[in-house]
């Protein structure tokens, strides 16, 4: 099915109205919509408005609180602990990252944990917030357990993304934004729609054995019947799957254990004690003032030099281009900002349904 092209401004406004109708404060609704639309604009539809229904469902069944208050529980000149109040992850993340940025501007460093939060969208949204102040931004979050640790057969850790954004001079900033798993869950759905086996090294079956059986993997994941996505580096230790597993734990140590949120297998609504409650996701944000270490212009010109050097180096046989992290997303952003954002037909259908249910005018198409 062909994608439908929509106007990003009207799309954001539509999403904002959905959240407001559900009882979310207007400002928080705007932030959440901005994070979702930013993801579509950057060519990451898996984390964009396609997820709107999950948030709506979460608010409706009260695993996400619409009237949450985000508060600072503890702070020093360079550190902070934020309680997301079990509301949407985006306003909690936005608040936490802004706190880190403020502290970095004042003291040189700002590191902030957030607990009692929810899925916060793309990690890169928050790290990139630091760029406007010429800071290095860091963003991590734990997430629902979909990844199988090395030598295990169950989904016990999250896809736990890491993002770091660093400013450059003439070049676009360096923006790493990566799940610590081989691939995100959404990639399996793409292969399922195409009725294709997934590449070996993406997932294991219910016995913990590498599998390419797309349908079986997806079914197992849905039923938590064993198996799941592999960490970056794949199965076992031969291609260093234990490193991806370790990176996922690193994210959980900082976002989960240090923040006091849930961790690993318990980042879900069904908890250890059998109760069903808030998912309690944790985030970790950092901001670093470059001038505390080196002249800002020197930093930026060296970033330019490093990135240009990589891009202009000899390509592998058959390859035309070497990318810097964030470059593809900036190009999508430029394109979609100009021509409109493509949304899948099924996302459009869901939005139209919401429009009727909530009596919100559907006027997003270009």
How many chain residues interact with its own copies (CB under 8 A)? 85
- CA–CA separation, 242 and 157 (whole Å): 13
Q: Is 182 in the site for its own copies (CB under 8 A)?
A: yes
Interface residue with its own copies, options 52, 130, 203, 204 (CB under 8 A): 204
Position among 325, 333, 341, 347 found at the interface with its own copies (CB under 8 A): 325
What is the per-residue binding string for its own copies in 107-146, x denoting contact by CB under 8 A? Answer: xxx-x-x----------------------x----------
Nearest Cα to 291, choosing from 107, 149, 112?
A: 107
Q: Select the span of 21-29, 38-46, 86-94, 195-203 touching its own copies (CB under 8 A).
A: 195-203
Smallest distance, Å, CB 110 to its own copies? Answer: 9
Residues 8-47 that bind its own copies (CB under 8 A): none
Of the listed pieces 20-28, 63-71, 173-181, 357-365, which binds its own copies according to CB under 8 A? 173-181
Minimum CB–partner distance for residue 131 and its own copies (Å): 13
The span from the CA of 56 to the CA of 29, in Å, is: 12
**CB contact burial 183-212 (16+ within 10 A = b; e otherwise):** bbbebbeebeeeeeebeebbbbbbebeebb
User: Nearest Cα to 187, choosing from 154, 164, 157, 159?
Assistant: 159
Could you say which of 54, 132, 151, 353 contacts its own copies (CB under 8 A)?
151
How far apart CA 151 and CA 131 sit, in angstroms, is 39
Minimum Å gap between C-beta 334 and its own copies is 20
Q: How far is the CB of 64 from its own copies (least distance, A)?
A: 23
42: buried, middle or exposed (CB in 10 Å: 19+, 13-18, 0-12)?
Answer: buried
Q: Which one of 244, 342, 347, 360 is in contact with its own copies (CB under 8 A)?
A: 244
DSSP bridge partners of 164: 138, 176
334 secondary structure, DSSP code: H
Contact 291, 300 (CB under 8 A): no
The answer to the question of residue 358 lying near its own copies (CB under 8 A) is no
Q: How far is the CB of 178 from its own copies (least distance, A)?
A: 5
């Amino acid at each position: 099915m062909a994608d439908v092209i929509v106007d990003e401004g009207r799309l954001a406004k539509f999403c904002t109205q959905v959240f407001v109708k559900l009882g979310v404060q207007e400002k928080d609704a705007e932030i959440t919509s901005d994070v979702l639309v930013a993801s579509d604009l950057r060519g990451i539809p898996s984390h964009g408005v396609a997820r709107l229904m999950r948030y709506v469902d979460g608010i409706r069944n009260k695993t996400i609180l619409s009237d949450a208050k985000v508060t600072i529980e503890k702070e020093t000149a360079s550190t902070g602990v934020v309680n997301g109040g079990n509301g949407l992850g985006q306003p909690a993340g936005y608040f936490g990252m802004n706190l880190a940025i403020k502290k970095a501007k004042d003291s040189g460093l700002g590191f902030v944990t957030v607990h009692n939060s929810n899925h916060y969208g793309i990690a890169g949204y928050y790290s990139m917030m630091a760029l406007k102040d010429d800071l290095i931004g860091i963003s991590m979050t734990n997430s629902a357990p979909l990844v199988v640790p090395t030598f295990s057969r169950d989904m016990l850790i999250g896809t736990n993304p890491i993002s770091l954004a660093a400013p450059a001079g003439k070049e676009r900033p360096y923006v790493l934004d990566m799940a610590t798993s081989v691939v995100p869950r959404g990639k399996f759905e793409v292969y399922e729609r195409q009725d294709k086996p997934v590449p070996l090294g993406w997932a294991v079956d219910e016995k913990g054995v590498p599998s390419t059986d797309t349908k079986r993997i997806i079914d197992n994941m849905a039923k938590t019947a064993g198996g799941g996505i592999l960490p970056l580096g794949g199965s076992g230790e031969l291609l260093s799957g234990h490193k991806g597993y370790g990176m996922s734990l690193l994210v959980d140590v900082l976002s989960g254990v240090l923040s006091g949120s849930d961790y690993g297998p318990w980042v879900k609504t069904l908890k250890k004690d059998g109760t069903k409650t808030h998912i309690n996701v944790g985030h970790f944000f950092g901001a670093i003032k470059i001038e505390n270490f080196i002249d800002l212009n020197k930093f930026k010109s060296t970033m330019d030099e490093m990135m240009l050097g990589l891009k202009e180096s000899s390509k592998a046989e058959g390859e035309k281009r070497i990318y810097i992290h964030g470059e593809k997303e900036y190009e999508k952003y430029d394109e979609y900002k100009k021509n409109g954002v493509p949304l899948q037909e099924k996302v459009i259908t869901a939005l139209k349904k919401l429009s009727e249910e909530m009596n919100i005018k559907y006027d997003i198409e270009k």
